[in-house]
């Protein structure tokens, strides 16, 4: 609760950031105001709705017991609100900025500046004060805070925050035209991220003179992988080629540092350091490290193999709990764990968190 004034101040800094009587902010109401609230067909905003937990897929839905009227009703509701994360990757081409954002043009943080020279950001290293929070990012991207872009851009911006400020594996000034930086990252536990893959092109704009390879994987990709096999001309099918092809590529303009990013979709849903190339960093958004057994192997592997790993969480309480169980996770590995983990594993407020609070009635 100590951080509540700070988080509420961030919400109120946006014209659309209305706080309800109980002090909470409704993301769905905000999205509805911009007509971008819905399941399939809403571009980058497409997402599951209704009472279904985020990790429930169609296979799980069919296994829900239907022995009572309540269970039957719940199954019907969950199916009616279902959405395949990454459905647009079954198409043959990525969505354009306008098709994906579905917002007034002045609200869109463009990645394609072919006919939008005036919207191109300056070189990140030349932006006064740096890109350190939502205020500075909106100024750098030349869009007004009337835009609800922060309600989606929290994912790529949080990855940037983890790489640069938490793990410190790189920085905007690390590369140069004469000496480019190669960066290989694995983004774990992806689900909703599959709906807006092109938004991660932001990393190429934020990190000049970098060549970034990002691999997306997680249990939530299985449905998309299964569907991709039925669409031989789709974007997603590229992950099955030999060698695998990226499902998305982007090159930043020379004025922004000419960085590149190639995003791959792994056909492996569970991260395994012994079968996958060791990356420069592991990152995860809203991971729930203490809630799913799969994360135990990730944390053990990352610590034992000295791979930088960071994640964001919905609540500080969750992060504190996860930090407290690290000694139990590492038991039997031979790794010495300090008695006080608060110094080595600090918990900080993410300046690029999605404005508002987690609505637990949706969980």
Q: What would the pLDDT profile of 144-195 be if each residue is shown by its tens digit?
A: 999 999 999 999 999 999 999 999 999 999 999 999 999 999 999 999 999 9
359 — pLDDT class (breaks 50, 70, 90): low
Indicate the burial class of 358 (C-beta count within 10 angstroms; 0-12, 13-18, 19 or more).
middle
Is the residue at 58 inside a domain?
no
Nearest to 188 by CA among 104, 69, 276, 315: 276
Q: Could you tell me the pLDDT band of residue 356, with boundaries at 50, 70 and 90? A: confident
Distance, CA of 83 to CA of 85 (rounded, Å) = 6
- Helix residue ranges, H only, 207-329: 222-228, 294-304, 316-324, 326-329
Residue 274 lies in a domain: yes
Determine, yes or no, domain membership for 245: yes
- pTM for the model: 0.92
Query: Can you point out the beta strands (E) in the chain?
Result: 181-188, 210-217, 248-251, 260-265, 281-284, 309-311
Residue 167 contacts residue 310 (beta carbons within 8 Å): yes
Please write the tens of the pLDDT for every residue from 201-243: 999 999 999 999 999 999 889 999 999 999 999 999 999 999 9
List the Cα angle 167/170/173 in 5-degree steps.
140
Residue 251 lies in a domain: yes
Q: What pLDDT shows up at residue 363?
A: 33
Output the pLDDT for position 175. 98
Contacts of residue 220, Cβ cutoff 8 Å, sequence gap at least 6: 55, 57, 85, 189, 190, 191, 194, 269
Question: Do residues 226 and 277 touch, judged by C-beta distance below 8 A?
Answer: no
- pLDDT exceeds cutoff 80 at 2: no
pLDDT one-digit tens code per residue, 31-54: 999 999 999 999 999 998 766 555
Residue 136 in any domain: the answer is yes
Please report whether residue 187 resides in a domain.
Answer: yes
Range of the domain at 123: 85-353
Categorize the per-residue pLDDT at 358 as very low, low, confident or very high, splitting at 50, 70 and 90.
low
In this prediction, what percent of the chain has a pLDDT beyond 70? 91
d(CA 350, CA 360) in angstroms, rounded, equals: 20
- Tell whether 54 is covered by a domain: no
Which two tokens mark 21? 């009587």
- Cβ-proximal residues to 168 (8 Å cutoff; 6+ apart), any chain: none
Helix (H) / strand (E) element for 12: namely: helix 4-12
Domain membership flag for residue 281: yes
Q: Provide the number of structural domains found in the chain.
A: 1
In the predicted structure, residue 55 carries a pLDDT above the cut 80 = no
* Over residues 100-107, mean pLDDT: 98
Q: Residue 49 in contact with residue 81, Cβ under 8 Å?
A: yes
């Amino acid at each position: 609760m100590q951080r509540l004034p700070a988080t509420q101040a961030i919400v109120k800094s946006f014209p659309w950031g209305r706080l309800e009587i109980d002090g909470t902010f409704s993301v769905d109401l905000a999205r509805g105001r911009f007509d971008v609230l819905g399941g399939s067909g809403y571009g980058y905003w497409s997402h599951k709705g209704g009472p279904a937990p985020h990790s429930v897929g169609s296979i799980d839905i069919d296994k829900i017991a239907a022995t009572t009227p309540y269970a039957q009703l719940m199954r019907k509701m969950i199916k009616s609100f279902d959405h395949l994360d990454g459905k647009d990757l079954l198409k043959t081409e990525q969505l354009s900025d306008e098709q994906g954002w579905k917002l007034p043009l002045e609200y869109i943080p463009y990645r394609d500046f072919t006919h939008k020279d005036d919207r191109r950001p300056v070189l990140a290293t030349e932006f006064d004060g740096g890109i350190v929070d939502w205020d500075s990012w909106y100024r750098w991207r030349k869009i007004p805070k009337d835009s609800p872009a922060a309600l989606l851009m929290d994912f790529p911006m949080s990855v940037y925050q983890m790489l640069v400020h938490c793990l410190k594996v790189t920085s905007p000034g690390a590369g140069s035209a004469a000496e480019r930086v190669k960066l290989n990252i694995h983004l774990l536990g992806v689900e909703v991220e599959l709906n807006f893959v092109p938004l991660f092109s932001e990393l190429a704009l934020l990190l000049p003179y970098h060549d970034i390879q990002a691999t997306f994987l997680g249990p939530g990709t299985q449905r998309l992988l299964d569907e991709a096999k039925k669409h031989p001309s789709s974007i997603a099918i590229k992950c099955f080629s030999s060698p695998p092809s990226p499902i998305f590529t982007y090159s930043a303009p020379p004025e922004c540092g000419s960085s590149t990013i190639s995003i791959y979709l792994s056909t492996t849903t569970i991260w395994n350091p012994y079968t996958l190339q060791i990356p420069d960093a592991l990152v995860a958004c809203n991971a729930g490290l203490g809630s799913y057994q799969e994360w135990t192997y990730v944390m053990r592997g990352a610590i034992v193999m000295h791979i930088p790993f960071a994640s964001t969480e919905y609540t500080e309480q969750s992060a504190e709990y996860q930090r407290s169980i690290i000694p139990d996770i590492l038991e039997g590995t031979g790794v010495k764990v300090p008695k006080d983990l608060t110094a080595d594993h600090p918990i900080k407020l993410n300046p690029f968190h999605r404005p508002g609070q987690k609505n637990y009635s949706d969980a």
